[in-house]
């Protein structure tokens, strides 16, 4: 039986539930010091003076580091790379006396324990010269400038077609700033070694990215820095870039020649990147039969003064549906905030809100069922690229999703369904995410004990990577899963890309598969040394199963083959690249999301009672962990639709609800029944595994489906997200 496609329990599950899994802020070491960050209280200006005398007077406070006494940094602002950096001059903590945003780290207090460090940090006094500033996107709209994004060229004649079309929609949708709130705060434990090298445990999605960053910023040799992230307590974009606690901890360790840990507070988790605020204008046109004639999507997003952060917000509107006249544009507005960063399904989660809500509005004007309208405009090719899809089972998603959901019970007229005093509504939306594959390396090592160890530098941010790679390795090597060990999260292991974009299994999983297949060649060579008959046998005649090499009636165990090789372990390492057969095709995952809501007619409160998410993502390596990913995406989508919003006090340029009490995220009571359908989809082109990834697709489309359901319940279109009860109080 194939191991792939089986709902295997998480291989790291026992470690996590018993507390044996160590996270970045939990690694013990002798003489460890603790750092506490002092944050700026202005949005723009310069530091004139830092008075740390009161902090240093406390016994146990070792050092207060600022821009004037930190270790040297290599080069200037632009002299280092970051695998997830935006265009511009990336921020470096304590680089100089400039203050670029409210909450910026301006000093680090280092003490013998965390409580002492935090108390001492509260005693540090900072004097500033304040400069003019603005943190409000709307106040700076006149300063919008084109984003440095490679947008598809306009096709057709949108303006002409739009003006002449019998059915039109022109609507503007707004989405707020949203902040990551993973369970594990960002932390770095830097263990200083006697030879001056650093062993760094960091909350990151890319150990090698962090290693490169530290080496370039601090002028360190690569062999002197090892970054580890064996376990990550949630990330989904917040750990793609090295966050500022990492260089602060490293600089303090180098300065003091001691081990240092810096853990950010929950409030400080709001002092780096976020999902950017956007204003999106959608203009759609169709003929009387429901065929899309024109699509225009213009987005304006917020960015920092020092970097131009761009996302793929509008591109989806040119590829999800068939349309010959398309115009896509994207502007940025720089403000005095930190640079935004990637947040689950970056760009798509925002752009699909605009597109799919506008599609619902146009379907209503046509008097057409929203699902039928989308089916009518199905695109079998990505018109942005001019390439057919390697596979696209979106029609099956529509069909299986609406059948499971009971879409035929939906009434098109708003306010037509009730449950007592609650208005009932049903809505749906489509979803799309690119199915990427990146170059990746992996090593497979088979020991004398018959245990296969697979290693690669990628991380597991809680998505089940350890488990999926175990299954891939077991299947490819011909071993039971109990005899496979997976080593991840170590910069010294074979090269791997950042874990993000739903491409880890496609990229690293392919490398693992190929490494295990390369191992077969070495085992066959060993077999020939035991039995000369194997010398003339080709690999295609051999089967590798249950820990043995089998040819006809001859069978040799892996342990015998390793012993015959005269080495402790038979090893193979490969560098996997995307197959060239992908090049003529566009590759993507797709989904159809159906949502039901109940809205209290008197109070305006909203409850999502049911969601059905039908997903086409190629081969599902582990349906149990994959389902968990889709469930998490749906919950996050409920948050985007109804809860999540970072509130900024523009009088100070400071985020106000910087805690889990006031930054609202969904809890169990907010989530109704969620059903996940994995639609059958065969794809031999996307990669050898046929897998497309599920991390992002579970989120895209969910907020729009809920918004459309709220309209169906109440008859009120709310185009400013999140849709909170105050926006529905006038529905009677």
Q: What are the residue numbers of the active site?
A: 696
d(CA 285, CA 170): 9
* Rg of the chain, C-alpha, whole Å: 27
What six digits make up the tokens of 593? Answer: 């999301």
Per the CB < 8 A criterion, the answer to whether 689 and 468 are in contact is no
Q: How far is the first Cα of the chain from the last one, in angstroms, to the nearest whole number?
A: 59
Number of residues that this document lists for the chain? 732
Question: How far apart, in whole angstroms, are the C-alpha atoms of residue 83 and residue 675?
Answer: 36
Say if residue 28 is exposed, middle or buried (CB neighbours under 10 Å; 0-12, 13-18, 19+): exposed
For residue 424, give the nearest of 713, 641, 728, 729 by alpha carbon: 713
* All residues at 6 or more sequence positions from 79 whose CB lies less than 8 Å from its CB, including other chains: 216
Burial status of residue 174 (CB atoms within 10 A of its CB: 0-12, 13-18, 19 or more): middle
Cis peptide before 17 (omega within 30 of 0): no
How far is residue 698's CA from residue 73's CA, in Å, rounded to a whole number? 41
| Burial grade of 122 (CB within 10 A; 0-12, 13-18, 19 or more) | exposed
Spatial distance between the Cα atoms of 232 and 222, rounded to a whole number of angstroms: 23
Structure tokens at 602: 């008197």
Tokens of 606: 């909203």
Separation of alpha carbons 627 and 9, rounded Å: 12
Q: Which residues is 381 bridged to in the sheet?
A: 388
Distance CA 472, CA 458 (A): 15
Residue whose pair of structure tokens reads 């892996």 in the numeric block: 558
How far apart CA 467 and CA 442 sit, in angstroms, is 16
Query: How does DSSP assign 571-609, residue by residue?
Result: EEEEEE---GGGTTSB-EEEEEEEEEEEEETTT--EEEE
Q: Are 620 and 68 in contact (CB under 8 A)?
A: no
DSSP 8-class letter at 685 = S
Contact status, residue 306 vs residue 99, Cβ threshold 8 Å: no
Contacts of 410 (CB under 8 A, 6+ apart): 426, 712
Structure tokens, 684: 């031999």
Of the candidates 103, 104, 99, the one whose C-alpha atom is nearest the C-alpha of residue 131 is: 99
The residues pairing with 321 across neighbouring beta strands, listed in sequence order, are 378
Segments in 84-133 forming alpha helices (H): 114-121
Distance CA 77, CA 217 (A): 9
Strand 145-146 relative to strand 61-65: parallel, antiparallel, unpaired?
Answer: unpaired
Q: Is 270 exposed, middle or buried (0-12, 13-18, 19+ CB in 10 A)?
A: buried
421 Cβ partners below 8 Å, 6+ apart?
600, 601, 602
CB 50 within 8 A of CB 66: yes
DSSP secondary structure string, 162-187?
Answer: HHH-SEEEEEEEEE--B----SSPPE
- For β-strands 422-434 and 588-600, DSSP reports them as antiparallel
CA distance 285 to 80: 46
């Amino acid at each position: 039986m194939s191991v792939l496609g089986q709902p295997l329990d998480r291989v790291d599950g026992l470690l996590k539930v018993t507390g044996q899994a160590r996270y970045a802020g939990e690694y013990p070491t002798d003489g460890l010091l603790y750092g506490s960050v002092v944050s700026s209280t202005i949005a723009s200006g310069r530091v004139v003076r830092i008075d740390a005398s009161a902090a240093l007077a406390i016994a146990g406070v070792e050092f207060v580091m600022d821009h004037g006494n930190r270790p040297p940094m290599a080069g200037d602002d632009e002299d280092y790379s970051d695998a997830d950096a935006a265009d511009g001059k990336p921020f470096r903590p304590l680089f100089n006396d400039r203050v670029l945003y409210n909450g910026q780290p301006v000093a680090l207090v280092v003490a013998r324990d965390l409580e002492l460090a935090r108390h001492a940090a509260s005693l540090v006094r900072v004097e500033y010269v304040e400069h003019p500033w603005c943190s409000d996107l709307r106040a700076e709209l006149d300063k919008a400038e084109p984003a440095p994004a490679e947008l598809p060229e306009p096709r057709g004649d949108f303006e002409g077609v739009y003006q002449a079309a019998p059915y039109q929609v022109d609507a503007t949708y707004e989405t707020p700033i949203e902040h990551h709130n993973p369970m594990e705060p960002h932390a770095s434990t830097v263990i200083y070694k006697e030879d001056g090298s650093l062993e760094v445990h960091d909350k990151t999605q890319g150990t090698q990215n962090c290693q490169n960053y530290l080496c370039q910023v601090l002028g360190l040799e690569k062999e002197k820095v090892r970054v580890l992230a064996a376990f990550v307590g949630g990330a989904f974009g917040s750990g793609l870039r090295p966050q500022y606690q990492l260089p602060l901890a490293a600089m303090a360790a180098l300065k003091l020649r001691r081990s240092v840990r810096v853990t950010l507070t929950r409030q400080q988790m709001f002092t780096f990147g976020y999902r950017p605020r956007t204003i999106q204008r959608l203009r759609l046109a169709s003929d009387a039969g429901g065929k899309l004639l024109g699509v225009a999507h213009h987005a304006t997003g917020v960015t920092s003064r020092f970097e131009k952060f761009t996302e793929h917000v509008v591109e989806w509107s040119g590829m999800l549906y068939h349309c010959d006249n398309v115009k896509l544009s994207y502007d940025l507005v720089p403000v005095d905030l930190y640079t935004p960063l990637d947040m689950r399904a970056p760009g798509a989660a925002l752009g699909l809100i605009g597109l799919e809500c506008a599609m619902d509005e146009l379907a209503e004007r046509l008097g057409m069922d929203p699902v039928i309208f989308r089916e009518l405009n199905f695109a079998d090719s990505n018109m942005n690229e001019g390439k057919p899809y390697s596979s696209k089972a979106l029609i099956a998603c529509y069909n299986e999703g609406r059948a499971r959901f009971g879409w035929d019970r939906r009434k098109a007229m708003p306010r037509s369904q009730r449950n007592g005093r609650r208005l009932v509504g049903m809505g749906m939306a489509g979803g799309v995410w690119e199915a990427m594959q990146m170059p990746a390396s992996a090593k497979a090592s088979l020991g004398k004990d018959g245990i296969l160890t697979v290693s690669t530098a990628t991380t597991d941010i809680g998505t089940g990577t350890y488990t999926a790679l175990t299954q891939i390795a077991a299947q490819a090597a011909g071993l039971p899963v109990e005899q496979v060990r997976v080593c991840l999260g170590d910069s010294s292991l074979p090269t791997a890309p950042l874990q993000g974009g739903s491409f880890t299994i496609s990229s690293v999983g392919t490398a693992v598969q190929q490494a295990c297949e390369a191992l077969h060649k070495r085992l066959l060579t060993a077999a020939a040394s035991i039995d000369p008959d194997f010398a003339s046998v080709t690999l295609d005649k051999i089967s590798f199963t249950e820990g043995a090499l089998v040819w006809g009636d001859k069978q040799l165990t892996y342990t015998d083959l390793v012993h015959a090789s005269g080495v402790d372990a038979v090893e193979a390492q490969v560098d996997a690249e995307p197959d060239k057969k992908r090049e003529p095709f566009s590759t993507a995952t797709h989904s159809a999301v159906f949502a039901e809501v109940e809205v209290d007619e008197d109070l305006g409160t909203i409850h999502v009672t049911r969601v059905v998410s039908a997903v086409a993502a190629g081969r599902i390596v582990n349906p149990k962990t994959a389902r968990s990913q889709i469930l998490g995406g749906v919950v996050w989508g409920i948050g985007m639709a109804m809860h999540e919003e970072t509130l900024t006090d523009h009088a100070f340029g400071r985020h106000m609800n910087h805690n889990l009490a006031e930054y609202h995220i969904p809890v169990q009571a907010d989530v109704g029944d969620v059903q996940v359908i994995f639609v059958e989809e065969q794809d031999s082109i996307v990669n050898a595994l046929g897998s497309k990834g599920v991390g992002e697709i579970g989120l895209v489309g969910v907020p729009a489906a809920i918004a459309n359901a709220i309209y169906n319940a109440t008859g009120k279109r709310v185009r400013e997200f999140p849709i909170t009860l105050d926006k529905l109080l006038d529905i009677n």
